[in-house]
Amino acid sequence: MKLILEKAKLQWELKLPFVLYKKPNKPIVKGVFQKNNSLFSVNDFTEKGFVFASFDGNKTYIIPENESEISSAIYIENQSISFNGNDFYSNEKERIYFENLVHKGIQAIENEDFKKVVLSRRESVNFSNFDLMLTFEKLVQLYPTAFTYCFYHPKVGVWLGASPEQLLKVNQEVFQTISLAGTQKDSGGSIVIWKQKEEEEQQFVTDYIVNKLKDTVTELKISKPYSIKAGSLWHIKTDISGLLNPDYGLQKLIRLLHPTPAVCGFPKDQSKKFILDNENYDRTFYTGFLGELNYVDTKETQNSDLFVNLRCMEIEIGSSRKLSEFAMTKAHFFMGCGITKDSIPENEWEESVNKSMTMKKVLDL
């Protein structure tokens, strides 16, 4: 673990791209270290490497396998790490703006423009004494059931996250995805009770995915919805799997699924247009996707393992290249909420605050 973190520090100081990541419930941390500073793009999804794609689909970058050194290490918990974040946040101006945005979304749903839309906000915080590697370690330690990562490219920036949502997993012809929606804060109890609004919101996502897959997948299997915990939040999850038809490649499959109603809305085109017209900021890579593209495993089979970029933050760091000499740092947090006809703007604001704590906790904010 120490060696792979030292390698990442060196890459940073040399301004060379890298990604560190750990898959959910797995003991291995992987690193992909690019040998040059070129910015590579995905053309047809036959490429091999670590992909990092934007919400709008206009930027799909890759750290190519054939241009990189790949390492892995057993994750060892850092016993010296402490967490000092709090669960309180108040910004009246941001609250009013977001609640008005949610109200506008509800009005559009009542006007039958669409059935659901996922509206988000960005919150920016200045702070100092930022340690990139320590922050990644904190993410891994706090969220073992999430896809945790630290991505850096000098022409893209620094992103970290702990995503609870898989976009898709493909092992040869075997396909897996999930439907994840609905959010409530953990109250410490063993039983989670869901309101109709959250159950309907999650069912929108399931129905959309199943409808999109019916002509591309055979032997489709759909689990019953169940509750799953991600950090301090609960969600409703449905597992979906099947066999891919031979004439459907990875590119077609990704375009069918992304963005799902869990991060965009339903119908997709109408809700996406509303988001782009009304959110008043550029999501960039928030609610995009990332992960392994066409990796070859130990059995010599080709796999792709992609996740939605949720519970993430973009970091703007001062000019120093040494991790121990960071100047003032700015963190951008991204939080979204699924809006339906039954949404209450005040509740959606509270949900967004709860989601922001996922990243703030690792920064001790």
Per-residue pLDDT of the chain (365 residues; tens, 9 = 90+): 899 999 999 999 999 999 999 999 999 999 999 999 999 999 999 999 999 999 999 999 999 999 999 999 999 888 778 777 666 567 899 999 999 999 999 999 999 999 999 999 999 999 888 899 999 999 999 999 999 999 999 999 999 999 999 999 999 889 999 999 999 999 888 789 999 999 999 998 999 999 989 888 889 999 999 999 998 899 999 999 999 888 888 899 999 999 988 899 999 999 999 999 999 999 999 999 999 999 987 666 789 999 999 999 999 987 655 555 455 689 999 999 999 999 999 999 999 999 998 889 898 86
What is the model's pTM?
0.93
Query: Which residue, chain included where needed, has tokens 């979304």?
Result: 105
Task: With H, G, I as helix, E, B as strand and everything else as coil, classify residue 224.
Answer: coil
How many Å apart are CA 218 and CA 228, to the nearest integer? 27
- Look up residue 92 and give its two tokens: 């009246």
Between CA 348 and CA 183 the distance in angstroms is 10
Contacts of 359 by beta carbon, 8 Å cutoff, 6+ apart: 160, 161, 162, 311, 312, 313, 331, 333
CA distance 1 to 75: 6
What is the distance between the alpha carbons of residues 238 and 178, in angstroms, rounded to a whole number? 6
Inter-residue contact 300 to 291 (CB < 8 Å): no
Handedness of CA 121, 126, 131, 137 (dihedral sign): negative
- How far apart CA 294 and CA 253 sit, in angstroms, is 14
What are the backbone angles phi and psi of residue 319, rounded to the nearest 5°? -75, -20
- Cβ proximity of 287 and 308 under 8 Å: yes
Burial of 324 (0-12, 13-18, 19+ CB in 10 A): exposed
Q: Under DSSP, is residue 364 helix (H, G, I), strand (E, B) or coil? A: coil
Torsion region of 287: left, alpha or beta (phi above 0 gives left; psi -120 to 50 gives alpha): left
